[in-house]
């Protein structure tokens, strides 16, 4: 009889332990599921947010620079061509302190093709000399603010590009995806004109070189 009682007590204890353990397991699983759902929601929200910098964005300057200038530009934009040497001077005045990140915003008619050529030139590690050649010859291939890639080719001959490969790469769907992603980020960031600058995430209070330099100087002072 005593053994039977002990058995019943032991069985009850095991059942109780199982129930408690099961409850703990279910609660733990629910918590993990809730955490996973929350993380997935946060990740989805982050993925849908506009980005100032994308993995594909062309950059110039050290990756660990304390000041990052993000510029949305159009190669057919006259003001972009004017600002390019000014931004270069800013970088030269503060070696290792400023990184430039470029984003595509082909707002002028026909500029998507020129941007595709720029992106294709990057696959040959010729992005920056190609951009410089395009800016310096802009008046020849973008008359009346309308880009004509057919007029631009002769001005790229000195860059050392493989034109056959470049034309093929321009048609790559990945190039189109990059351009569309930049345009979508521009739209979400309310970028409607070029050039549009952000310095360490801050937009210019008003457009102008003085305003850009002031924001850069402020960021440099904060980084000391």
pLDDT digits (tens, 9 = 90+) for 70-102: 999 999 999 999 999 999 999 999 989 999 999
Run of H or E including 86 = helix 78-93
The CA-based angle 118-123-128, given to 5 degrees, is: 50
Domain assignments of the chain as residue spans, ordered by start? 1-49, 59-222
> What's the length of the chain?
224
Instruction: Tell me how far apart the terminal alpha carbons of the chain are, to the nearest angstrom.
Output: 83
Range with the lowest mean pLDDT among 28-37, 91-100, 108-117? 28-37
Residue-level pLDDT at 39: 38
CATH superfamily of 59-222: Glutaredoxin (3.40.30.10)
| Residue 16, pLDDT above cutoff 60 | no
Q: How large is the average pLDDT for residues 207-213? A: 97
Q: How large is the average pLDDT for residues 21-48? A: 41
Residue-level pLDDT at 52: 95
Q: Where does the pLDDT of residue 12 fall: very low under 50, low under 70, confident under 90, or very high at 90 and above?
A: very low
Average model confidence (pLDDT) for the chain?
84
Residue-level pLDDT at 49: 52
Q: Using a pLDDT cut of 70, give the percent of the chain over it.
A: 78
Contact 94, 67 (CB under 8 A): yes
- C-alpha span between 132 and 11 (Å, rounded): 83
Could you give phi then psi for residue 161, rounded to 5 degrees? -90, 150
Q: How large is the average pLDDT for residues 196-206? A: 96
């Amino acid at each position: 009889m005593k053994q039977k009682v002990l058995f019943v007590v032991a069985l009850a204890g095991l059942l109780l332990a199982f129930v408690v353990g099961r409850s703990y397991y279910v609660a733990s699983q629910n918590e993990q599921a809730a955490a996973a759902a929350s993380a997935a929601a946060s990740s989805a929200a982050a993925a849908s947010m506009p980005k100032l910098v994308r993995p594909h964005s062309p950059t110039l300057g050290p990756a660990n620079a304390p000041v990052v200038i993000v510029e949305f530009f159009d190669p057919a934009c006259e003001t972009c061509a004017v600002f390019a040497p000014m931004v270069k001077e800013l970088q030269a005045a503060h070696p290792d302190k400023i990184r430039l990140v470029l984003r595509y915003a082909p707002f002028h008619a026909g500029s998507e093709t020129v941007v595709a050529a720029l992106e294709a030139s990057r696959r040959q590690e010729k992005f920056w000399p190609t951009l410089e050649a395009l800016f310096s010859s802009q008046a020849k291939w973008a008359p009346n603010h309308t880009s004509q890639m057919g007029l631009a080719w002769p001005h790229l001959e000195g860059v050392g590009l493989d034109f056959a490969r470049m034309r093929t790469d321009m048609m790559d769907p990945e190039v189109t995806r990059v351009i569309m992603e930049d345009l979508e980020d521009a739209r979400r960031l309310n970028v409607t004109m070029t050039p549009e600058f952000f310095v360490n995430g801050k937009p210019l209070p008003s457009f102008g070189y003085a305003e850009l330099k002031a924001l850069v100087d402020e960021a440099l002072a904060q980084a000391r």
